[in-house]
Structure 1
């Protein structure tokens, strides 16, 4: 009987699906919910080395279901990056959800609101392409909001239709490079 040992070099640590899913679940628990933002869920999670350093980041969409919101319902592209060292500060007591997230070895490194229904996420050489459909009446990008003086238009939503936005991950930061 032959025994095969598989050794993994720390510089090329491939993130297994179970560990990735645990990190996503733990960090999703840190996003707040209330009577308007009723439920949060993750979609399109993947482990990708975004910056070529041999360590995979975790990329996912954190989306929410909102009821009666007068604000953009969360629909965020999220990047979790590997953290070094022990979770928290020595002698500091962490809340259970914060401790669980810290123990995954990944921390929230960046996020961006995507103003439409995400149809595809593609990672190419350090860039992240998000293809989405913006709608006239969308819970994730409100075109107007109510005030004491009536309705006011917003200017942050793209025109209805299909869009592709590109982001770059560089030095621990998520930056929009085209829309």
Structure 2
């Protein structure tokens, strides 16, 4: 929840005006956050509601219309408590190295329990999927470079993702060669 909090509070902090949940979603889509933040866009609304209950964001009605009217949408602004939480999370993620758990690394510990032929097929398949992911990331980077409204930080983030994917691909290819030579498992 902390990552989505940081994203949402950051968008609200950057906008400095009341905005709809849909506008937050559009901003995150523009940043391709689903690629690098593992965010389900539907979770934005439940996170906003939870943060409103905690006093981190304030819900406001965009006009004098009653909230029960179907066309009235709720707008959100960041509260002083939300600004404090944003600053805390921002610094936490910049200064602390938090490792993420990749289930593949757990499965890797049991590579010797797969038949060799299946292991080779799985590694080749993983290499193909990783190459496709890398092509997709490179395409996104090229695409986003043409949009001035996309901040440079988005391109830097996608570049970091591409570097991680390139490293994983290199590892997969080297491991595949070791399995083919009989050095692994």
TM-score range, shorter chain: under 0.3
Q: What TM-score do the two structures reach when normalised by structure 2?
A: 0.21
Q: Which has the higher contact order (CA 8 A, sep 6+)?
A: 2
- After TM superposition, the score normalised by the length of structure 1 is 0.21
Larger radius of gyration: 2
Structure with bigger helix share is 2
